[in-house]
Amino acid sequence: MTSPFDPTPLPPPECPAHASGGAPEPEVSEIGPGGLRRLYGPAHEKDPMGLYEKLRAEHGPVAPVLLNGDVPAWLVLGHSENLHMTRTPSLYSRDSRRWRMLQDGSLDMTNPLAPIFAYQPVCVFADGAEHERQRGAVTDSIARIDHRGVRRFINRFSNRLVNDFCESGQADLVSQFAEHLPMMVMCQIIGMPEEYDEELVQAAREMLKGSEKAIAANEHVMGALYRLVARRRAEPEEDFATWLVEHPAQFTDDEAAHHLRLVLIAAYETTANLIANVLRMVLTDPRFRAQLSGGHMTLPEAVEQTLWDEPPFTTILGRWAAGDSELGGQKIKAGDALIVGIAPANVDPVVRPEPSASMQGNRAHLAFSGGPHECPGQDIGRAIADTGVDALLMRLPDIQLSVEEDELRWRSTLMSRHLIELPVSFAPRPPQEITGPVIPERAGAAARDWQISSPRRPDPAASGTVPQPGPVPAAPRTAPPAATVPAQRRGSAPVRAWRTLVTWWRGY
């Protein structure tokens, strides 16, 4: 596993630096030295949420844990404690070079988590003025994206993907849909639609898996990004790469290429995971189904509920204590490592006494973290997921899971839990002609209504309260994706029924 925030691929498994290379790893028990629970190994792999709840019961909102290699860290489980931590960078820095174990040399750099914590000169690891400079270039460039144009691509690319498998009557929605759509969209946004191909998707997958092909995959992706930076310096276009290189932050070529990789990979991994999770919920969860078929939930609301229940990042490593402090009743020492506990915070009984309760209309989840590093691409991620799932369901309204739900398999890492496959079946049907513009509209006035951050939760640091479940102002309704499947919309009864439902969900 490697971090979407960290471009450095893991060493290949046959490399001696790779912890899982050579002989198989010995089975690790749930409890490690000092009686601390391990955030790795079979217990974590099998049921991370169960493990978080044990930790909450034993330690409260902040728990001592062991990471791979029995490296100690604090897992922050509480919602308000996570918000406080992410919003107080003066105490909880994003710069991993503050880690005491790195400074005193006691941290083994062959640790499989090294690619996550090894410092890189990108905004993810920066604090203060440097973070503002680098992140400013990213957020200003995101703000120039024309969201209506993006929704059109998403719809178009979704239909292209469906065309590739619709005649067969079966598909794996993870490898044939969820893993491709974000890459197609991000290549278009960044300004290299011609680079999107199976090889790029494979390269991103290999980088994230940390497989033996990770280093070559990284070179493949970086080669494409450096070429793009050079092209856009010479010939500016209306795309993200141009806006980034032209930004007053004055990125060097290295900075520009590394931030493009950050955006590409951060968006790919998380959004693919979100799409798979939304589709699984739609296909398997009776509560979801009932709410959807009863017209009590829109598709963007279904995405939001998924962000509460199955956030694409379960945790983030992390933050590093800049000084001594107390958090959730624990004494944190300068140089300690802390983990943003996104999934446990989302089910913190303080904000969510009834975990099965619908969180409709409430965006106080931490799926996008909080504070100065809060995800700047969240509304693009949301748009890819809700428009993509919408387009898929429009085309294949009779879609069904083709295995039993308990046969679905997952892969858990420290930071995420991935569905490995989502096999579905449906009545075979012919591909559809895909029409509509591919070139984005020139960004301008339209870009201003691109919503960059959610209507946010109240700041507990300011009010002294934690956000409570319950209605908060709903997000403005998003523009409808362009219709690219008119023939099918006039089709069979199930299609009409689906369209009625979708119309209700969207509210237009």
How, if at all, do strands 62-67 and 37-38 pair? parallel
Give the one residue of 217, 274, 292, 414 binding ligand HEM; rule: CB under 6 A.
274
In terms of CB distance, is 7 or 41 closer to ligand HEM?
7
**In angstroms, what is the minimal distance from the CB of 32 to ligand HEM?**
25
Q: Does 306 bind ligand HEM (CB under 6 A)?
A: no
Give the one residue of 312, 388, 440, 481 binding ligand HEM; rule: CB under 6 A.
312
CB–CB of 378/475 below 8 Å? no
Which positions from 353 through 372 interact with ligand HEM, judged by CB under 6 A? 367-369
Give the one residue of 10, 161, 266, 337 binding ligand HEM; rule: CB under 6 A.
266
Contacts with ligand HEM: how many residues (CB under 6 A)?
27
d(CA 200, CA 172): 19
In terms of CB distance, is 128 or 349 closer to ligand HEM?
128
Q: Does 41 bind ligand HEM (CB under 6 A)?
A: no
Give the one residue of 89, 193, 300, 377 binding ligand HEM; rule: CB under 6 A.
377
Q: Is 108 exposed, middle or buried (0-12, 13-18, 19+ CB in 10 A)?
A: middle
Q: Is 294 exposed, middle or buried (0-12, 13-18, 19+ CB in 10 A)?
A: exposed
**In angstroms, what is the minimal distance from the CB of 363 to ligand HEM?**
13
Calculated CA dihedral for residues 216, 222, 226, 228, nearest 10 degrees: 110
Stretch that binds ligand HEM, among 109-117, 250-258, 270-278, 415-423 (CB under 6 A): 270-278
- How many whole angstroms from its chain centre is CA 63? 24
Q: Does 83 bind ligand HEM (CB under 6 A)?
A: no
**In angstroms, what is the minimal distance from the CB of 487 to ligand HEM?**
31
Stretch that binds ligand HEM, among 44-52, 62-70, 266-274, 494-502 (CB under 6 A): 266-274
Q: Per DSSP, what are the bridge partners of residue 67?
A: 71
d(CA 322, CA 91): 5
Stretch that binds ligand HEM, among 108-116, 265-273, 428-436, 476-484 (CB under 6 A): 265-273
**In angstroms, what is the minimal distance from the CB of 307 to ligand HEM?**
7
Q: Does 270 bind ligand HEM (CB under 6 A)?
A: yes
d(CA 233, CA 242): 7
Which run of H or E residues covers position 299? helix 299-309
Q: What's the start-to-end Cα distance of the chain, in Å? A: 41
CB–CB of 37/339 below 8 Å? no
Tokens 């237009």, residue located: 508
Give the one residue of 205, 373, 457, 499 binding ligand HEM; rule: CB under 6 A.
373
Sequence-separated contacts (24+) of 452-458 with Cβ below 8 Å = 452/139, 452/142, 452/143, 452/376, 452/378, 452/379, 453/374, 453/376, 453/378, 453/379, 454/363, 454/368, 454/378, 454/379, 455/363, 456/363, 457/83, 457/363, 457/364
Stretch that binds ligand HEM, among 6-14, 171-179, 243-251, 373-381 (CB under 6 A): 373-381
SS (HEC) of 82-111: HHHHHCCCCCEECCHHHCHHHHCCCCCCCC
Q: Does 375 bind ligand HEM (CB under 6 A)?
A: yes
Q: Does 397 bind ligand HEM (CB under 6 A)?
A: no
The residue sitting closest to ligand HEM, measured at its beta carbon, is: 377
Which positions from 85 through 144 interact with ligand HEM, judged by CB under 6 A? 86, 123-124, 135, 138, 142
**In angstroms, what is the minimal distance from the CB of 182 to ligand HEM?**
7
Structure tokens at 357: 């309760």
d(CA 484, CA 435): 6
Q: Which amino acid type is present at position 330?
A: Q
CB–CB of 317/113 below 8 Å? yes
Give the one residue of 74, 92, 196, 313 binding ligand HEM; rule: CB under 6 A.
313
Q: Does 340 bind ligand HEM (CB under 6 A)?
A: yes
**In angstroms, what is the minimal distance from the CB of 200 to ligand HEM?**
16
Give the one residue of 192, 267, 345, 364 binding ligand HEM; rule: CB under 6 A.
267
d(CA 133, CA 125): 13
In terms of CB distance, is 92 or 426 closer to ligand HEM?
92
Structure tokens at 259: 């931030």
Q: Does 271 bind ligand HEM (CB under 6 A)?
A: yes
In terms of CB distance, is 66 or 380 closer to ligand HEM?
380
Which run of H or E residues covers position 326? strand 325-327
Q: Does 178 bind ligand HEM (CB under 6 A)?
A: no
**In angstroms, what is the minimal distance from the CB of 140 to ligand HEM?**
12
Binding site for ligand HEM (CB under 6 A): 86, 123-124, 135, 138, 142, 262-263, 266-267, 270-271, 274, 312-313, 316, 340, 367-369, 373, 375-378, 380-381
